[in-house]
Structure 1
Amino acid sequence: MLRRLTTTVAALALAAVMQNGSAFAQDNELTVGAIYLDAQGFYAGVRKGVQVGGAELGKNVQIIETNAGGDVGKEASFIDRLVSAGVEAIILSAVSPDGSVRAIRRAHEAGIPIVCYNTCLNEKDMKEYVYAYAVGDPFQFGYKIGQVAADDFVKAGKTEPKIGILNCEFVDVCVQRRLGFEKALGEKVPGFKIVSNQEATILDKAISTGEKIITANPDLDALWGESGGAALGAAKAIRNTGNAGKIMAYGSDMTTEIAQEIIAGDVMRGTVDVSGQALGKLALQQAVKAIEKEPQGALIVPNPIDLYTSADEAKAWLAAHPDGLP
């Protein structure tokens, strides 16, 4: 699980940064603030990518980090502390496209470059205050897994499939994922119907919400989880209600548990994934470029999107991630 800094540890780290002043760049030493959106396993992967990315760049990167827990106020408070400490860059998955603007603007006005990853600000403010946004195209993310579902429905002869969604649409990235998912379905099974679309990102809530959707819709054909917790919750809800082999689950993000579900093969048909580790490395690369005053390139910096639909692919992922970090 993603390690959370205690108040004491964070305060000591920030105090050390402030004591060192602006001499961070000596001997390839950099100090970067990092903010993770929540405690899902994806962000543990991002954290590892940030840590490993510094060494791969030949930099000694000190990371001052926190988990915002989806809370704009906590995010803003930590950004202000990072500004006071004079960190050289901030990388973050923004809690809100609009609600996160004020704190990020303060950091920008203090001369601290901002790099978003996974989630960011609204388009207007992003262009004004953000150096780079590292992201796997969320529309294509949803489109890819939507194609998998559509092909399954066509193969099964289902022209009007009924689908439930467990969403993370408090962030715009997940809205875009759903639009891509629906676009892919509409191309091959235009009679599809979304019978329920409910927020359920955390695993326990995703399980209970998924079970309620299944109970309310006994003719349901599939559940799609827009995030890792939602995807695993969809699979577990199907199992808990005795619908393995009848209702299919489609996932987003890759974890050890989701890989095991794909290998089992009776519920989870596949998942689409943006590697947290790769995204963390990419975000740090952009932060280092900003620190070193490289001219700003394209605002959107794409990260690859991967699709896993077979037991062999899932087994290969498990072999490549023995620590379970995505």
Structure 2
Amino acid sequence: MKKKVFSMMLCVAMTVAGLSGCGEASSTVSEKEADSNKEAAADEITVGSVIMNTSGEWFAEVMQGMEAAGKELGVKVNIVSSDNEVSKESDNVSTFIAQGTDAIAICPLSADASAAAVDAAREAGIPVVAWNCTVNTDTDGFVGVSNYDLGKMTGEYVAQYVKDNYPDGCKLAILGNHSYEVGVERCNGFKDVIADVEGLEIVAEQDAEMQDEGMDITEQILTANPDVNIIWAWNQTSLLGCSAYMQNIGNKDIVVMGTDMSIEIAKTMLGDDVTLQAVTTQMPYDIGYNAIANAVKAVKGETYEEKMLIDLKTYVKDDVAEIEKYVEDHKSLVE
């Protein structure tokens, strides 16, 4: 009996010891996991993205590309808007510096005025990749397009279109921009190509940026120049405004062309309410993705293309299949 009691006591003691041992092992693993998690969090790269504004599908697609890059590369991407204000842009960069952000991807509002913010970040040891727009100071790379070539491509289409369709001459109006580098470059590229087209006359050129401005300026131009044959708009939102005005007045005779595709623009091209003939566009998803990817490579000290120019594309009203494919490929932007 004593043996049985002793045996039972020994068994209980061993069991308790075993439980205690398991408890210690579990505690040790938990601490290691906690330390590992802390290290992983500390090692996670954070990229601050500074965007001009978040209006329109173009920037929505850029952000989609940035978020995809962050997910695929396992980095954190913080996206903030400057709302077209240089002072807010500066504040956004200062905040990222204070937070110890590992890299910054910025779409500079001004080639000159944005330079101070970029310099401040780089002086703090933070790599800065510019995208969409360049800035007049040193950066750690650029991702975007040649905006001169973007305007030039539409100009080349217009030049041929005028030769084929207006043998007796053509009057053209421009919804342009003189506030941003991208606008100036696009307008220069467009106008340089059409400058020597026989019979083509530019009868009006006014700045317009947002959709409501596009509508108002189009109305002003056509009131003063009712015999305009073609209107070219420099960006997505002014093009949307121009197209909306033409639809409101039911004018199919004036041919509209522009830059920066969107779902709404594509659907307008497919319809018959407006003669929206050609749109030259960038690939904003690719711009956003590669801006983040190159910023991460800069942090890691890896080799990357410091001036990355993304391909351009022209959509034409007659190519229905290509336009329908665009709508299908980009439907997630409006869902």
The interval holding the TM-score normalised by the smaller chain is 0.7 to 0.9
Deviations 1:171-218 (A, max 9, x none): 11111111211233235x244232222221111111111111111101
Which of residues 46, 61, 68 is equivalent to 2:82?
68
Letter in 1 for 2:238: A
Instruction: Please state which structure has a larger fraction of its residues in helix.
Output: 2
Q: 2:47 aligned with 1:32, yes or no? A: yes
Q: Could you tell me which residue of structure 1 aligns to residue 12 of structure 2?
A: none
What is the CA distance between 1:221 and its match in structure 2? Answer: 1.1
What is the CA distance between 1:302 and its match in structure 2? Answer: 0.7
2:45 and 2:76 mapped to 1: Cα distance? Answer: 6
Q: TM-score, normalised by structure 1?
A: 0.85
| Alignment check: 8 A CA contact 1:253 1:271 kept | yes
SS of the residue 1:98 aligns to? coil
Q: Could you tell me which residue of structure 2 aligns to residue 176 of structure 1?
A: 185
| Alignment check: 8 A CA contact 2:60 2:333 kept | no
1:294 and 1:107 mapped to 2: Cα distance? Answer: 20
Aligned ranges for residues 107-146 of structure 1 at < 5 Å?
A: 107-122=121-136, 125=137, 128=138, 130-146=139-155
Which of residues 256, 259, 264 is equivalent to 1:252?
259
Alignment: residue pair count? 294
1:25 and 1:254 mapped to 2: Cα distance? Answer: 40
1:135 and 1:23 mapped to 2: Cα distance? Answer: 32
Q: Which runs of 5+ in 2 are unaligned?
A: 1-36
Larger radius of gyration: 2
Q: Could you tell me which residue of structure 1 aligns to residue 314 of structure 2?
A: 307
1:134 and 1:51 mapped to 2: Cα distance? Answer: 16
Q: 2:222 aligned with 1:214, yes or no? A: yes
Q: Indicate the larger mover: 175-184 or 100-109.
A: 175-184
Q: Could you tell me which residue of structure 1 aligns to residue 116 of structure 2?
A: 102
What is the CA distance between 1:324 and its match in structure 2? Answer: 3.0
SS of the residue 1:207 aligns to? helix
SS of the residue 1:164 aligns to? strand
What is the CA distance between 1:24 and its match in structure 2? Answer: 5.7
Letter in 2 for 1:311: V
SS of the residue 2:296 aligns to? helix
Q: Could you tell me which residue of structure 2 aligns to residue 50 of structure 1?
A: 66
1:267 and 1:52 mapped to 2: Cα distance? Answer: 35
What is the CA distance between 1:293 and its match in structure 2? Answer: 1.2
1:149 and 1:181 mapped to 2: Cα distance? Answer: 9
| Alignment check: 8 A CA contact 1:203 1:232 kept | yes
Letter in 2 for 1:53: A
1:258 and 1:227 mapped to 2: Cα distance? Answer: 11
Which of residues 125, 134, 157 is equivalent to 1:148?
157
| Alignment check: 8 A CA contact 1:203 1:233 kept | yes
2:271 and 2:332 mapped to 1: Cα distance? Answer: 20
Letter in 1 for 2:301: K
2:38 and 2:298 mapped to 1: Cα distance? Answer: 19
Letter in 2 for 1:319: E
Which of residues 155, 176, 197 is equivalent to 1:167?
176
SS of the residue 1:323 aligns to? helix
Letter in 1 for 2:174: I
2:193 and 2:111 mapped to 1: Cα distance? Answer: 26
What is the CA distance between 1:263 and its match in structure 2? Answer: 0.8
| Alignment check: 8 A CA contact 2:173 2:232 kept | yes
What is the RMSD computed on CA atoms of the aligned residues?
Answer: 2.0
Q: TM-score, normalised by structure 2?
A: 0.82
| Cα separation, partners in 2 of 1:177 and 1:158, compared to 1, 3 Å | farther
Which of residues 239, 243, 248 is equivalent to 1:235?
243
Task: Find runs of 4+ consecutive structure 1 residues off by over 6 angstroms.
Answer: 20-23
2:326 and 2:218 mapped to 1: Cα distance? Answer: 26
Q: Could you tell me which residue of structure 2 aligns to residue 12 of structure 1?
A: none
What is the CA distance between 1:55 and its match in structure 2? Answer: 2.8
| Alignment check: 8 A CA contact 2:173 2:202 kept | yes
Letter in 1 for 2:115: V
Which of residues 203, 208, 213 is equivalent to 2:211?
203
Letter in 2 for 1:138: N
2:143 and 2:39 mapped to 1: Cα distance? Answer: 26
SS of the residue 1:272 aligns to? strand
